[in-house]
């Protein structure tokens, strides 16, 4: 756990330095908007199968639980330039049971796996008067196999009653076993939100990630598709936002001699506490100030 604490300090220091570098032109008296969010996901796989040529095969069921903490800070640097800093941590647990086959012999197996992930991201965004915005995003993160780094682009539109937010990016391993395996990723995601009123919204999302290990492009290919829908509500008179939703995930892994597929369906819920000027703001205003995220699944979000 000590390594993760040190990793969190390293990530936070690097991201704060990057954000500070972008702030010399900031006007006096910046308006800071912050959000602290605690949430969780419970997911059970509906299908999981893997095969190793015609001799080996496995089928298993997995129950996953993820608890997460997320903090975001948004600041207006200039009238049309904003910055946002995110830091998050998550703990993942999976209970799995399955049956396997080796030739004519069958067997049962099971166990529990856990993992911590700590990461952060920094966004710098230029916003046009007509609601469109764009800008770069960088991220650093750690998990059990090593540290990762990413660069990407945020693109979106924020209107009076709806918003559309997209992100594309690439990830590479920086240290640990991930670096030894030459891990790398490309990803893209899209989030659409409709505001029934200023304090109640419905949001849908979809993303795709391709992760590779090894020197050749097909040494190890891992495709992750995610989709989901959720409701967000800020009760009148209370400085919190309540969220609940559904998340689906499909993972396909392929190598030259084996492959596997997993489909997961999960329920997620969270409570968000706004800080600073966001404490008295509507849900829609909070989303505009601190609504950016990071869409690579390898950072545990």
DSSP 293: -
pLDDT exceeds cutoff 70 at 7:
no
Q: In this structure, what DSSP letter does residue 198 have?
A: T
Assign 177 a pLDDT band (cuts: 50, 70, 90).
confident
Q: Which of the two residues, 145 and 248, has the higher pLDDT score?
A: 248
Report the percent of the chain where pLDDT is more than 90: 45
* Contact of 35 with 274, CB cutoff 8 Å: yes
- The span from the CA of 177 to the CA of 226, in Å, is 26
On whether the CB atoms of residues 23 and 77 are closer than 8 A, the answer is: yes
Residue pair 156/163 in contact (Cβ under 8 Å)? The answer is yes
Note whether 136 and 155 are within 8 A (CB): no
| Residue 261 pLDDT | 85
Which residue pairs from 20-23 have beta carbons closer than 8 angstroms and sit at least 24 positions apart in sequence? 22/77, 22/83, 22/124, 23/75, 23/77, 23/83
Q: Which domains does the chain have, with CATH numbers?
A: 2-299 (2.40.160.40)
Q: What is the pLDDT of residues 89-142, one digit of tens each?
A: 988 898 888 888 887 888 888 889 888 888 999 999 999 999 999 999 999 987
The residue to which tokens 């004519």 are assigned: 104
Angle at 68 between CA 65 and CA 72, to 5 degrees: 155
**Residue 198 region by backbone torsions, left for phi larger than 0, else alpha for psi between -120 and 50, else beta:** alpha
Q: Which residues face 106 on adjacent strands?
A: 101
pLDDT at 145 over 90: no
pLDDT at 239 exceeding the cut of 90: no
**Mean predicted confidence (pLDDT) in 172-188:** 86
State the Cα–Cα distance between residues 95 and 199, nearest whole angstrom. Answer: 37
φ, ψ of residue 289 to 5 degrees: the values are -80, -35
CB 213 within 8 A of CB 284: no
| pLDDT value at 22 more than 70 | no
* Residue 277 DSSP symbol: G
Q: 219: which DSSP letter?
A: S
pLDDT of 13 over the 80 cut: no
Give the CA radius of gyration of the chain.
Answer: 20
Q: Report pLDDT for 208.
A: 96
pTM: 0.83
283 backbone dihedrals φ, ψ, rounded to 5°: -55, -45
Looking at residue 92, its pLDDT comes to: 85
* Residue pair 290/33 in contact by the 8 Å Cβ criterion: yes
Q: What is the mean pLDDT of residues 179-185?
A: 84
Higher pLDDT, 157 or 217: 157
Nearest to 275 by CA among 31, 30, 35, 37: 35
Q: How far apart are CA 176 and CA 3, in angstroms?
A: 12
What b/e sequence results for 218-256 when a residue is b if at least 16 CB atoms lie within 10 Å of its CB, and e otherwise?
A: eebbbebebebebebbbeeeeeebebebebbbbbebeee
């Amino acid at each position: 756990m000590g390594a993760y604490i040190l990793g969190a300090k390293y990530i936070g220091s690097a991201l704060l330095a990057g954000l500070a570098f972008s702030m010399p032109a900031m006007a006096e008296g910046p308006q800071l908007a912050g959000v602290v969010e605690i949430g969780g996901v419970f997911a059970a796989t509906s299908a999981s199968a893997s095969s190793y040529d015609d001799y080996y095969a496995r089928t298993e069921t997995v129950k996953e639980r993820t608890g997460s903490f997320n903090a975001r800070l948004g600041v207006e640097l200039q009238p049309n330039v904003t910055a946002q800093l995110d830091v998050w941590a998550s703990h993942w647990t999976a209970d799995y049971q399955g049956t396997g086959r080796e030739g004519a012999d069958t067997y049962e197996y099971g166990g529990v796996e856990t993992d911590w992930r700590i990461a952060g991201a920094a966004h710098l965004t230029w916003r046009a008067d007509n609601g469109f915005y764009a800008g770069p995003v960088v991220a650093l993160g750690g998990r059990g196999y090593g540290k990762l780094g990413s660069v990407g682009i945020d693109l979106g539109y924020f209107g009076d009653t709806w918003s559309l937010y997209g992100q594309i990016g690439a990830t590479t391993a920086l240290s640990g076993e991930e670096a030894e395996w030459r891990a790398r990723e490309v990803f893209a995601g899209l989030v659409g939100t409709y505001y029934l009123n200023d304090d109640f919204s419905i949001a849908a999302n979809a993303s795709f990630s391709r992760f590779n290990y090894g020197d050749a492009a097909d040494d190890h290919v891992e495709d992750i598709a995610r989709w989901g829908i959720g409701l967000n509500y800020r009760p009148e008179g209370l400085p919190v936002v309540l969220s609940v939703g559904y998340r689906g995930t499909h993972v396909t892994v392929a190598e030259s001699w084996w492959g596997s597929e997993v489909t997961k369906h999960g329920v997620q819920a969270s409570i968000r506490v706004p800080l600073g000027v966001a404490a008295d703001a509507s849900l829609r205003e909070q989303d505009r100030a601190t609504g950016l995220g990071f869409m690579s699944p390898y950072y545990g979000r």
